[in-house]
Amino acid sequence: MTEKKSNFLLWLILGGGALLFFTLSLLALAMYLSEEGSAPSISLSSSHVAVLDLEGVIFDSKEFTDQLKEYGNRSAVKAVVLRVNSPGGGVAASQEIYEAVKKVRTEGKKKVVVSMSSVGASGAYYVACAADKIFANPGTITGSIGVIAEWYNYGELLEWAKLKSVVFKSGDLKDAGSPTRPLTEKEKAYFQSLINNMFNQFVTAVATSRHMDEAIVRKLADGRVFTGQEARTNGLVDELGTLQDAIAAAAKMSGISGEPRLVTPPKKKLSVLDFLLGDYRSAVSLHPDRSESQIRFAYLWR
């Protein structure tokens, strides 16, 4: 056998071995992810407390509202604890989760208790207000009742590049907030009116859900955050305590005697393709694309 043929066979064996190893690794990973995504079984016992995590910036509500609906409809689940660690997010997304929490209480006939971790601010606080009781740690960052809107303006960059934006529109406000030019006074008033309307919706939700005087809420609603301890003093949260305290309270409120059984949603089942792509689609749905010039109104602590 010539040296050339020997080298070819060697590389063929090494390449085939590497390909086989890669294939087996992907299969093992797929099996692992499949097991991680399997739903936990729930016994016939009716002493379950569901613990759901609301984590990160809220810009899509579907996944979390689906979880609320699922566990809200399970007869074996007597209470739901929301573990919140979020600075808030989109206005509508926060409102959708808020309404879903209310449905768990009214239609599902279940007690809902919120346990705030490090942060439960702005839109996340909006969501928390729908619960029967809110727990926070003394050092939790919460509050931030308010609205923010921001976007990038690259008009001067276009001028530098000697480019011009050409727009035909049916009305003065059709391209309001265009990133290619400064805001007009009419546009500034227009956007401020939208923000004021969304702000009033926030204040009303807090005052109604927390049974607080609206005037008192407005004094607290200048966008500032509070520690959990300060929030307790101001009536924004009910108790200072840990996740375990919130679970114990939910069990007691639901008439569960003894240690409740905890159930949590299965970890998201990822395909091999999702893994290889870094689960890109999920990341896009949860977080705003800061590269976009689109105006975003948010209940978000910055």
Residues with catalytic roles: 122, 174
**CA 178 – CA 145 distance, rounded (Å):** 27
Burial class (CB in 10 A: 0-12, 13-18, 19+), 131: buried
**Which residues neighbour 96 within 8 Å (Cβ) at sequence distance 6 or greater?**
61, 65
DSSP state of 143: E
- Tokens of residue 238, six digits: 């009910």
Burial class (CB in 10 A: 0-12, 13-18, 19+), 258: exposed
**Which residues neighbour 131 within 8 Å (Cβ) at sequence distance 6 or greater?**
82, 101, 105, 112, 113, 114
Contact indicator for 190, 173 with CB cutoff of 8 Å: yes
- The Cα-based distances of 266 to 37, 39, 51, 66, 206 in angstroms read 5, 5, 11, 13, 32
SS3 of 182-229: the string is CCCHHHHHHHHHHHHHHHHHHHHHHHHHHCCCHHHHHHHCCCCEEEHH
Contact indicator for 247, 83 with CB cutoff of 8 Å: no
**CA 268 – CA 288 distance, rounded (Å):** 21
Which is it for strands 141-143 and 225-227: parallel, antiparallel or unpaired? antiparallel
**CA 89 – CA 63 distance, rounded (Å):** 15
**Which residues neighbour 218 within 8 Å (Cβ) at sequence distance 6 or greater?**
203
